[in-house]
């Protein structure tokens, strides 16, 4: 079953090291909504070319089911970018993920490189925003191209640039996260939360997932398969929430049909915005069911 891209679940987006053939094969059986096959941080300089060939071959060969498969290339300012983007264009993944996108001009350069490389129309751009300048210019970045569909928060680099500490609640990063969320919603883009570094801290990870969902992120980038289940669970509407959403819509429609000026559901006054939220929760649940079928 095909999935409407506007509703496609991206609760869990897992980085997989491009130099590790076994990891690329293992990813075919993982419960990730999307995969980022990584040519950047996870690959040593002397292994870049071999990893590039391996990742592009894996994408071309397929076998990942309905998982959204993307390739993270090396940054525009590196010696590997041109070869990475040309090879990725030929492989035709769902998207290329580009680190440290800092301006609308960067987006234009990426798009031109994809077109020059013969990338199919379905290969989109996911822009990683990781610097103070990117936070401040995020609206321009997000609106620079229709081919750019997803913003990815690079929270580790952002913390480094801010000279900030990684602390529970992420107070030092909230301004940047909020600016990018505003930009994503203003331009109609998907936005993914950054990674959580401590794979042994399950409680801290789940708390950050909950914070990200409450803030409005569409999902989270992950660094280890153990993080898949909590992310998928936190970003999925619960069965109780879906049932309540259906009941809310029914109550609202019955109230309108009866000519009521005020409609309440479980003691709360409801209006069109609540109905819209309820319909979105139902659509999300249905899209997740379709992905997992």
Each residue's pLDDT tens digit, 188-235: 999 999 999 999 999 999 999 999 999 999 999 999 999 999 999 999
pLDDT band at 36 (very low <50, low <70, confident <90, very high): very high
CA angle 219, 154, 132 (to 5 degrees): 125
Residue 24 lies in a domain: yes
pLDDT(286) > 90: yes
Residues 203 and 244 in one domain: no
Of 218, 234, 250, the one marking the end of a domain is: 234
Please state, in angstroms and rounded to a whole number, the distance separating the CA atoms of residues 185 and 174: 16
Residues 245 and 226 in one domain: no
Residue 100 lies in a domain: yes
Of 187, 211, 234, the one marking the end of a domain is: 234
In the chain the beta strands, taken as DSSP E runs, fall at: 12-17, 34-38, 68-72, 95-98, 124-129, 148-153, 190-193, 219-222, 263-265, 268-270
- CATH number where 209 lies: 3.20.20.60
Of 234, 261, 281, the one marking the end of a domain is: 234
Please state, in angstroms and rounded to a whole number, the distance separating the CA atoms of residues 234 and 237: 8
How far from each other are the two terminal CA atoms of the chain, in whole angstroms? 8
Residue 198 lies in a domain: yes
Please state, in angstroms and rounded to a whole number, the distance separating the CA atoms of residues 202 and 34: 21
Query: pLDDT tens digit string along 261-278?
Result: 889 999 999 999 999 999
120: left (phi over 0), alpha (psi -120 to 50) or beta: beta
Residue 2 lies in a domain: no
Nearest CA to 149 out of 186, 177, 108, 188 is that of 188
Structure tokens at 114: 């994809």
Query: pLDDT tens digit string along 76-130?
Result: 999 999 999 999 999 999 999 999 999 999 999 999 999 999 999 999 999 999 9
Q: How many distinct structural domains can be found in the chain?
A: 2
Residues 216 and 243 in one domain: no
Residue 47 per-residue DSSP state: G
Residues 100 and 150 in one domain: yes
Asked whether 12 and 31 are in contact (CB, 8 A), the reply is yes
Please state, in angstroms and rounded to a whole number, the distance separating the CA atoms of residues 289 and 18: 29
Nearest CA to 158 out of 141, 180, 125 is that of 180
Residue 207 lies in a domain: yes
Query: pLDDT tens digit string along 150-186?
Result: 999 999 999 999 999 999 999 999 999 999 999 999 9
Residues 245 and 211 in one domain: no
Residue 74 per-residue DSSP state: P
- Measured in degrees and rounded to the nearest 5, phi and psi for residue 75 equal -65, 160
pLDDT at position 96 is: 98
Residues 230 and 243 in one domain: no
Neighbours of 6 (CB within 10 A): 10
Please state, in angstroms and rounded to a whole number, the distance separating the CA atoms of residues 263 and 104: 46
pLDDT at position 133 is: 97
The domain containing residue 86 runs over which residues?
12-234
Residues 107 and 200 in one domain: yes
Nearest CA to 21 out of 72, 65, 57 is that of 57
pLDDT at position 1 is: 36
Buried/exposed code over 273-291 (b: 16+ C-beta within 10 A; e: otherwise): ebbeebeebbebbebbebb
pLDDT at position 3 is: 57
Residues 105 and 224 in one domain: yes
Residue 255 lies in a domain: yes
Contacts of residue 152, Cβ cutoff 8 Å, sequence gap at least 6:
13, 97, 126, 127, 128, 129, 191, 192, 194, 221
**Is 155 buried (19+), middle (13-18) or exposed (0-12) by CB count in 10 A?**
buried
Structure tokens at 152: 């990815």
Residue 5 lies in a domain: no
pTM: 0.94
pLDDT band at 291 (very low <50, low <70, confident <90, very high): confident
pLDDT at position 199 is: 96
pLDDT at position 4 is: 61
Q: What is the mean pLDDT of residues 28-36?
A: 97
Asked whether 80 and 51 are in contact (CB, 8 A), the reply is no
Query: pLDDT tens digit string along 116-147?
Result: 999 999 999 999 999 999 999 999 999 999 99
Residues 51 and 134 in one domain: yes
Residue 1 lies in a domain: no
- State percent of the chain over pLDDT 90: 94
Residues paired with residue 265 on neighbouring β-strands, in sequence order: 268
Residues 148 and 272 in one domain: no
pLDDT(2) > 70: no
Residues 127 and 248 in one domain: no
Residues 149 and 66 in one domain: yes
């Amino acid at each position: 079953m095909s999935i409407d891209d506007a509703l496609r679940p991206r609760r869990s987006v897992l980085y997989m090291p491009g130099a590790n053939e076994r990891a690329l094969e293992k990813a075919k059986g993982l419960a990730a909504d999307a995969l980022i096959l990584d040519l950047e941080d996870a690959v040593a300089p002397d292994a870049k070319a071999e990893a590039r060939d391996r990742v592009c071959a894996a994408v071309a060969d397929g076998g990942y089911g309905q998982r959204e498969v993307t390739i993270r290339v090396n940054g525009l300012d590196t010696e590997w970018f041109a070869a990475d983007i040309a090879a990725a264009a030929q492989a035709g993944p769902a998207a290329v993920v580009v680190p440290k996108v800092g301006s609308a001009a960067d987006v234009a350069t990426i798009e031109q490189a994809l077109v020059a490389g013969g990338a199919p129309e379905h290969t989109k751009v996911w822009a990683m925003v990781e610097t103070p300048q990117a936070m401040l210019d995020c609206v321009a970045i997000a609106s620079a191209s229709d081919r750019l569909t997803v913003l990815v928060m690079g929270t580790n680099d952002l913390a480094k640039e801010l000279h900030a500490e990684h602390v529970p609640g992420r107070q030092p990063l909230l301004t940047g996260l909020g600016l990018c969320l505003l930009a994503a919603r203003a331009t109609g883009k998907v936005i993914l939360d950054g990674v959580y570094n401590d794979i042994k801290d399950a409680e801290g990870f789940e708390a950050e997932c909950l914070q990200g969902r409450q803030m409005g992120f569409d999902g989270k980038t992950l660094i280890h398969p153990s993080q898949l289940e909590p992310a998928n669970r936190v970003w999925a509407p619960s069965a109780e929430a879906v049932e309540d959403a259906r009941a809310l819509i029914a109550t609202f429609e019955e109230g309108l049909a009866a000519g009521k000026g005020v409609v309440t559901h479980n003691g709360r006054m409801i209006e069109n915005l609540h109905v819209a939220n309820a319909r979105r929760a139902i659509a999300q649940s249905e899209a997740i069911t379709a992905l997992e079928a």
